[in-house]
Amino acid sequence: MRLPGEKELAATFGVSRVTLRQALALLQEDGFIESRHGLGNFVRKRKGNAEAFLAQFSSPMGVFVKDGFDSVIIDREDFIGDTFTNEMFNRDVPAYSGVIRKYYKNTDCVALSYSCIALDYSDTKITRHYSDEELTHYLAEDIYSSAYGAKMDIQVVPETSLLKNTKFSSPDKNFFLILEVIFNTKGQVVIYNKHYIPLSEASIRLMFLKNGINSF
């Protein structure tokens, strides 16, 4: 929702424009409104607590992409294991799947994930025969039901070669990178995810509970 202009807002609240601008700046910092160049100030859509915080074992993309997404386009390819992937999975992996997922809101690509799936684990071997739709569902939901847990590391990174090659960009060339390592009950890494979200598209919040499962 677009807010009225400064003059009208200042008159409505009975404050000076200087005071109004200070208040608007604080609201922007807290994520309640956003300023769009040449268009004015807008009230941002805010999600309920159940959606705004990652407080359960689930895909971070359904929570951390600010305004969500309505479709996913997937591209995958199988590879022979190599020194790099053996180090990543901390064991000799004969083969793995490399999967790129692009998340769209309407026609805009708002996030991207790159996943390495070890194909030596009983639950992941069958993914080689999955359709794109089945694999998308597996990576977004099923793996979080069958796996034991995950670890995440969140960084801010500049545009990488992967993002350039997949033609996924950000206005300021910076992204939140969420490194997510999913492991089974034996502690073996089964999926290694790299999630990229432009800073302008991200809303990253974590809730740490006393006996929660998301505090690593």
Predicted confidence (pLDDT) per residue in 54-87, tens digit: 446 788 898 889 888 999 999 999 999 888 888 8
Residues of the chain with pLDDT under 70: 1, 13, 23, 26-27, 29-33, 37-38, 43-56, 206-216
Tell whether 132 is covered by a domain: yes
Pairing of strands 189-198, 71-80: unpaired
Give the pLDDT confidence score for residue 135 in this predicted structure. 96
Tell whether 24 is covered by a domain: yes
Give the pLDDT confidence score for residue 213 in this predicted structure. 46
DSSP state of 142: I
Tell me, yes or no, whether 17 and 104 share the same domain.
no
Separation of alpha carbons 162 and 72, rounded Å: 18
The contacts of residue 74 (CB under 8 Å, 6+ apart) are 99, 100, 101, 102, 132, 135, 136
| CATH code where residue 162 lies | 3.40.1410.10
Tell me, yes or no, whether 26 and 106 share the same domain.
no
Separation of alpha carbons 169 and 76, rounded Å: 20
Tell me, yes or no, whether 183 and 110 share the same domain.
yes
Tell me, yes or no, whether 21 and 78 share the same domain.
no
Give the pLDDT confidence score for residue 6 in this predicted structure. 79
Query: Domain containing 22: what range?
Result: 6-43
Separation of alpha carbons 20 and 14, rounded Å: 9
Tell me, yes or no, whether 124 and 61 share the same domain.
yes
Tell me, yes or no, whether 14 and 88 share the same domain.
no
DSSP state of 202: B
